[in-house]
Structures are given as C-alpha cells and as structure tokens.
Chains A and B, each alone.
Chain A
Amino acid sequence: MPSRPQPRFPEPHTEPFWAAVKEGRLTYQQCTDCQTVVFTPRLVCTSCGSDRLPYRDSSGEGSIYTFTVVRQNRNPVFAEMGAYVLAWVDLDEGFRMLSNIVGAADPTRDISVGQRVRVEFEPQESGDYPIPVFRPIA
C-alpha cells in the first residue's frame, strides 16, 4: 500500500500527539480545572479557557459515529488505495477523531454506525510516523 501523507513539523500543537503515536500511544488532553476532554490538541480548554491541559493515554477503543466509503480522490496516494473508509470515531474517553477504518472485506457492507473499533498504528513504507487507524473489534 502506498504511504499516507505524513504529519509535518515543526508544528507545535500536534508534536506531542505524534510523538506519542511513535511510541504506540493514542493521546488526548483533559482540562485539570474543569475536566473537559479536549481534542484535537490545542493550548486552551474549549470550555473554560484554562491552559492546564495535560495529555492522557486513550484505551484506543471506541465506536463509529459516522463513516463514508470514498470512491474518488484525485490525490495519487488515495487514488491508488482504492475505496477507503473515512470515519469519525468516538473514543470511550469522550473525544472524536477523524481516521480511517481498515480491515473490512467489503466496507459498504461490513462497516456500520455504532460499530466498536480499536486503534492500530499502521506502519508506513516512507516517513517517520506510523498512522493511527481503526479496525472493527471482532
């Protein structure tokens, strides 16, 4: 499979997230002051504005909030990939993440809203970072 586009650096917001991915961890932020879960990474809490936002490790399990099977993408990498599943995944810790769902023989029939999925870190032929994607839990 062709390598996916990589995150690019320097980019200070997302560096901690991707450094954790390299170690096989999926992370999110949680506000120390009001406990709001924050994702994607940023400097301030989206509920109270606090800047006390430590990273926490996610279990990597969640459910599909919604998905689509994309049939047409002029980006050569995804064009070569063929039909792929784009999804918003609701992780059990309460954050919603854009990702791809992999491992379905027929994504138009085997993927559904609400389906349980687990993260895996897909190695890439080129680039430093594996990419977190989700696979249905058998």
Chain B
Amino acid sequence: MANQRRDAAIVGIHEYPLRVAPGRSAMQIKVESIKAALEDAGLKWSDVDAIYDTNDGEGGGGLGMAAYLGLSPTVIDTTAVGGSSYEFQAAHAFRDIAAGKANVAILSYGSTAASSRRAIGTGGATGVGLPNWQNNMEDPYGMITVGNYALVARRHMHEYGTTTRDLAEISIATRLHATRNPEAVKAMSDLQFVGTGEITVEDVLESRMIADPLHLLECCMQSDGGGAVVIASADVARGTRKPPAWILGTGEATKYRQNGGDITTSAGAQSGPAAFAEAQVRPDEIDIAMIYDSFTITVAVCLEDLGFCKKGEIKDFVKDQRLRFDSPLKPTLNTDGGGLSSNHPGMRGIFLLLESVRQLRGESTSQVADARLAVAHGNGGALGGSHSGGTVILARD
C-alpha cells in the first residue's frame, strides 16, 4: 500500500464522560472537550488554525467558535448535515490540511438533549419555524424520526426477508460492548434503563413496539454528551503524544425520497465505495466498523451499502454473533456501546471517530487484538427521507 496517503491524522480525542449533565450547557461540553482533546494530543491552544462546527446552537459555527475560543483560524467550516456532520467535517479537514490550508483542526460537539428533555425520536414537532416546501407536505401526517426509519425496516423486511431476530443481533452485540464500558453502564443507569446488562433476541422481541417493526431495544437512547477531535498534518502528527490515526480516505453523499426510488439503499452506497477507493483498502480488511446506530436498521442498511455484504444479505452476515469484539471474524461493530447503549445526544457522528481512534490506539474497553483499520460511517438526517452519508477510513501506523 505504498500509495496510501499519510496527509492528516486524528491526533487528539476526548469523549465527555457524562450522559446526564444537568447544569452544563452544550457549549461548555464542547469547550471542555476541545481542551481535553488538545491535551490528549499534546498540542497548545495557539496551535489550532482550523475550526469545524455544526452551529447546533448557542452561537457556535466556525465564526462563533473562533470568537469564543479567541482563535484566528485560517479555515472555518460550518457543515451541518445531521448526525454524520463530523464525518463530513473530518473529510473537509483532511482535504484542507492536504491542501496546505491548515495544520491543526478541531471538531467539537456538545448537547444537553436529555437534560433539556428534547424529544428527538418521537417529538413530531409541527408548525415550528416558517412553512417550507418540505414541512408543508409532511406536517399533517405525524412523521417522526423513528417512524421514518421504521419505513425503511419494513421495506427491507419485505424485499429481503430480514426479520427482527436478524436486526436484534445488532442490539445484542452493541449492548455486550456497552456492558464493558463503564461510561456506557453509567449512561444506561443514569438514563434509567430497565436493565443495563447483556440482552437476548427475546429481550428485543419482547420490548415495547415504538413504530412497527422497530422495538424499543432497536432505538438509540437520548442522552447529553459530546466530545472533540483534533486532526493534524503529517508533520504535526509525528510529534504528538499518542500514535496517529491516519485518515486514508473519505466519502460524502446525499440521498432523498425519489419517485420510484429504493429506500433500502442509503447514501452510504455512494460515500462508502468512494472512501474505500481513496483509501485503497477493501471492506473485508476492516477490523472495526463504527456505524451510526440510531436504530438497528441504520446499521443493517449501512453495512450492506459499505460493501461488508451484498444488499439484502445482512440476515446472513450478522449470524453467529460475528459482530462481537471477541469474534474471530471481521469487522467488529460499535465497540463503545453505540447510540443504542452508550451515547446518543442527537448527532452521534463524532463518537464514531472517537472509538475508531481508541481501537487503533489499543485503548478501547472492548479492544480488538491488533486492530489496524477502522471505518467510521455516519448517517445524518432521516434514513427513509433526506439523509447524508459520510465515510472516513482510518489506519494506524
């Protein structure tokens, strides 16, 4: 792989440890995380010359963050495409650093979705903001986030014979990993999960139906939380405290409702192959798959679209508990406990990068032996409607 790029790497990370953080604001979670991620990298405040931010409240964005932090970045980027924003931003930082426009980039996220009791999945807010070409066609029908994903799950089951038992394998593996992560265990406890231990197929089947065919144990939690990522040029990365996690390739794509379109295929079918081609690796070489688990169906569709198996074959792929960290087969899924069982404050994309890096450093609580290659794939927006897919492939030296 002599031609693989080594232009930019993730050199600093921090995950805010709490999932219920009353009295903290989203901006405070972000800033604490940036500070800790820079310390993790061994870099100084003044080293930062590029800021990426979704502007998800509290006067952030590239401009607002620069003002708050007192920095004078040469690059700001306010890409906001939902939960995959951080994969898009990492892709942009990779490009900007490779082009010589920046040397040290920060991405950050903070949210108090749990403490402020925002209903992300089942809120169904209507009549908010100005009417537009989209909401005026949807508001009368009670579209909610979980319902949107359930539409995909139903169609997937119809076309390919996928069952809840198959999708439950995703919940089970993810929960196993959560039970090994003390922050995830505390999250489930603080958020008053009925149980915080391992779960079975029957547990998933018997959990409350939220929107057919999706059950409670197939839906992510709603937590507080956040984190930060530092991405640096090759020159900087050679001198940081921890081993660099090189960005080998990235892909970005959009998808939306189309007349006659196939909603069992996501934007990942475009972003995934682009990222693998740039990285010059194949899906079967990937050790760690950090896939956005808003719901089980999101993981199922995205694993197919990234090429880990063919479309419709997820039911066979997930067999024999292959997604567990101790399975001999690649890849291992969501070793931090995922959005299902560790952390989902609304936009989970940043955590996919964080746990990918922990695995490549050997720091995960469900460490996969000799993990060398990871893919972080975010899906933002709504899988059954307008959504974005962002893929980032990472490697250790």
For residue A49, give the distance in angstroms from its CB to the closest CB of chain B.
16
Find out whether the CB atom of A84 lies under 8 angstroms from the CB atom of B257: no
Chain B CB count within 10 A is highest, among A7, A46, A66, A90, for: A66
CB-based nearest A residue for B153: A68
* 15 contacts across the A-B interface (CB closer than 8 A): A8-B136, A11-B130, A40-B134, A42-B133, A67-B154, A68-B151, A70-B146, A71-B208, A74-B124, A75-B126, A78-B124, A88-B384, A98-B137, A98-B257, A113-B154
Q: Is there an interface contact between A13 and B155, defined as CB atoms closer than 8 Å?
A: no
Closest to A87 in B: B151
Which residues in A have their C-beta under 8 angstroms from that of B123? Answer: 74-75
Q: Is the CB of B142 within 8 A of A70?
A: yes
A98 / chain B contacts, CB cutoff of 8 Å: 137-138, 141, 143, 257
| Listed stretches B7-15, B258-266, B268-276; interface member | B258-266
Contacts of B146 in A (CB 8 A): 70, 72
Chain B residues close to A by CB (< 8 Å): 119, 122-127, 130-134, 136-144, 146-147, 150-155, 158, 208-214, 257-261, 263, 384
Query: Are B133 and A13 in contact, CB atoms less than 8 angstroms apart?
Result: yes
B150 partner residues in chain A, CB cutoff 8 A: 68, 70, 86
Query: Out of B126, B130, B152, which one reaches A5, CB within 8 Å?
Result: B126
Q: A74-B123, A113-B155 are in contact. Are A68 and B257 (CB under 8 A)?
A: no
Contacting A41 at CB < 8 Å: which of B133, B151, B152, B154?
B133
The 7 closest A-B pairs by CB, nearest first: A68-B150, A75-B124, A8-B131, A66-B155, A13-B133, A5-B126, A78-B142
Count residues of A near B (Cβ-Cβ below 8 Å). 48
Chain A residues packing against B (C-beta within 8 Å): 4-11, 13-14, 17-18, 37-42, 46, 65-75, 77-78, 81, 84, 86-88, 90, 94-96, 98-100, 108, 113-114, 131
Q: Is the pair B139, A5 in contact by a Cβ cutoff of 8 Å?
A: yes
Query: With A68-B211, A78-B124 given, is the CB distance from A14 to B141 under 8 Å?
Result: no
Measured CB to CB, the nearest residue on chain A to B124 is A75
A75 to B144, CA, bound (A): 10
Cα–Cα distance between A84 and B158 once the two chains are bound (Å): 20
**Chain B interface, DSSP helix/strand/loop, else mixed:** loop
Whole-angstrom CA separation of A74 from B222 in the bound complex? 14
A8-B136, A75-B123 known; A88 vs B151 contact (CB < 8 Å): yes
Complex interface: chain B residues within 8 A of A72 (CB): 122, 146, 210-211
* Chain A: minimal CB distance from B132 (Å): 6
The answer to whether B259 touches A14 (Cβ under 8 A) is: no
Bound-complex Cα distance A108 to B209 (A)? 11
Instruction: Please pick, from A42, A87, A94, A108, the residue contacting B259 in the complex, using a CB distance under 8 A.
Output: A94
B142 x A81 contact (CB < 8 A): yes
* A96: contacting residue among B124, B140, B211, B259, CB under 8 A: B259
CB distance from A24 to the nearest CB of B (A): 16
Instruction: Output the nearest chain B residue to A36 by Cβ-Cβ distance.
Output: B259
Nearest chain B residue, comparing its CB with the CB of A124: B140
Asked if A75 meets B125 with Cβ closer than 8 Å, knowing A9-B131, A96-B259, A108-B212, the reply is: yes
Q: How far is the CA of A13 from the CA of B137 in the complex (A)?
A: 10
